[in-house]
Amino acid sequence: GAVVSQHPSWVICKSGTSVKIECRSLDFQATTMFWYRQFPKQSLMLMATSNEGSKATYEQGVEKDKFLINHASLTLSTLTVTSAHPEDSSFYICSASPEGLASYNEQFFGPGTRLTVL
C-alpha cells in the first residue's frame, strides 16, 4: 500500500523559533499534498493544499506567512511554522495523493507530528 511518512513525529520548541515538518510519500509520487491541523479531541482542519512546483493554496483563516509550505518534489512537502507560539501547539497531519488521475485517487495520510511550543 501507499505509505506516507512524517518527520519528526514529535517536536518541542521555544516560543519564537521556527520548526520544519517534513512529509514524504515513500512508494509513490504525489502530485498533491495536503496539510491538516488537529487540536486535542477535535477534528482535522484543512490548512493548505500544495501541488508540486507551485505555490500552496491556503484555506481561509490560515496565515500563509506563519505556515510556509513547500512542495519541491513529487515525494516531499514541508511545513514550516515560523515564529512559533504556544497557540501553534497542535497535531499536524499531512496526506498525499498519487500522481495520475488525482481527482479519483485516495489521500494517504501520514502518522502526524505533535508540535509543542513552550
Partner 1 sequence: AQTVTQSQPEMSVQEAETVTLSCTYDTSESDYYLFWYKQPPSRQMILVIRQEAYKQQNATENRFSVNFQKAAKSFSLKISDSQLGDAAMYFCAYSQSGGGADGLTFGKGTHLIIQP
Closest to partner 1 by CB, 36 or 88: 36
User: Could you give the string, one character per residue 8-37, with x where binding to partner 1 holds by CB under 8 A and - elsewhere?
Assistant: -----------------------xx-x-x-
What residues between 42 and 101 interact with partner 1 by CB under 8 A?
42-46, 49, 59, 91, 93, 95, 97-98, 101
Cis peptide before 8 (omega within 30 of 0): yes
Closest to partner 1 by CB, 18 or 102: 102
Element (H, E) at 17: none
| Chain residues in the site for partner 1 (CB under 8 A) | 31-32, 34, 36, 38, 42-46, 49, 59, 91, 93, 95, 97-98, 101-107, 109, 111-112
